Amino acid sequence: MKDKKAMISLYTSNWIFRAVFLAIMTVLVLFVVNYMTSAEVHAEHLRAESFAARVLYSPHGIGFTDQEGRFYPKTIDLEKFKSTNAVNPESPLLNELVNFGERKFIAAKLELKNLDTNKIICPFDIPAGTPCPTELDGIYFNHNKFGEWSLFSFDRSQFTKIDKQVYVLIRQGNNWQRGRLNIQVVTPLG
């Protein structure tokens, strides 16, 4: 049997060990809590990527759907793409596809280039031989804000801009051609 001095020494060393362990765990928990609460979440990049994916992979977008209802991803139906006009370059198809309600968080421009002819496809019918106006060479989602926000998109502290190029097939009637879809998405931070 141990004497009282040995038992007091054992209890003291156990309490010192427990106090040090408790202090280390408290500091660790405070560090983790501080890290989790101070981390900023920016959903703008995710929102822009989600918009691009919805345009490319949604059967209700500008993609080609055959008579049986099968959707072909990364194929552009030129009739759906040309659903705008020169007066209003805002695409009604894109507005139906992505609905943010009254507050639109993003603005986008989709530009389609035919790689076989090396020409940008105008989203509305123009007379043959007439080039497409450069300010209307794509279809837009939230056209007014795109013009405003793209001027300031160089300021990375205020806006996120994503430029994405996707190689696609273009269907015009029964003809298939190679193409490239340029997707520019601008969204404000915050």
- Indicate whether 68 pLDDT > 80: yes
Q: What's residue 18's pLDDT? A: 87
Distance, in Å, from the CA atom of 18 to the CA atom of 125, rounded to the nearest integer, reads 79
Q: Please state the rounded mean pLDDT for residues 32-57.
A: 80
The residues that bridge with 159 in the sheet, in sequence order, are: 188
- Residue-wise pLDDT for 132-145, tens only, equals 666 667 788 887 78
The H-assigned helical ranges of the chain are 4-38, 44-57, 78-81, 92-97, 143-151
The residues that bridge with 165 in the sheet, in sequence order, are: 182
Q: Please state the rounded mean pLDDT for residues 58-70.
A: 85
- Residue-wise pLDDT for 80-104, tens only, equals 887 765 556 666 667 667 766 666 7
Q: What's residue 49's pLDDT? A: 84
Element housing 176 (H / E) = strand 175-188
Distance, in Å, from the CA atom of 3 to the CA atom of 25, rounded to the nearest integer, reads 33
- Residue-wise pLDDT for 146-187, tens only, equals 878 877 766 667 788 888 899 999 988 888 999 999 988 888
Q: What's residue 3's pLDDT? A: 65
Answer left, alpha or beta for residue 187, where phi above 0 means left and psi between -120 and 50 means alpha. Answer: beta
Give the whole-number percent of the chain exceeding pLDDT 70.
73
Confidence of residue 6 (pLDDT cuts 50, 70, 90): low
Radius of gyration of the chain (CA): 29
Q: What's residue 56's pLDDT? A: 85
Element housing 112 (H / E) = strand 107-114
Q: What's residue 119's pLDDT? A: 81
Q: What's residue 167's pLDDT? A: 93
Name which residue leads in pLDDT, 38 or 57. 57
- Indicate whether 30 pLDDT > 90: yes
Distance, in Å, from the CA atom of 95 to the CA atom of 74, rounded to the nearest integer, reads 19
Phi, psi dihedrals of residue 50, rounded to the nearest 5°: -65, -40
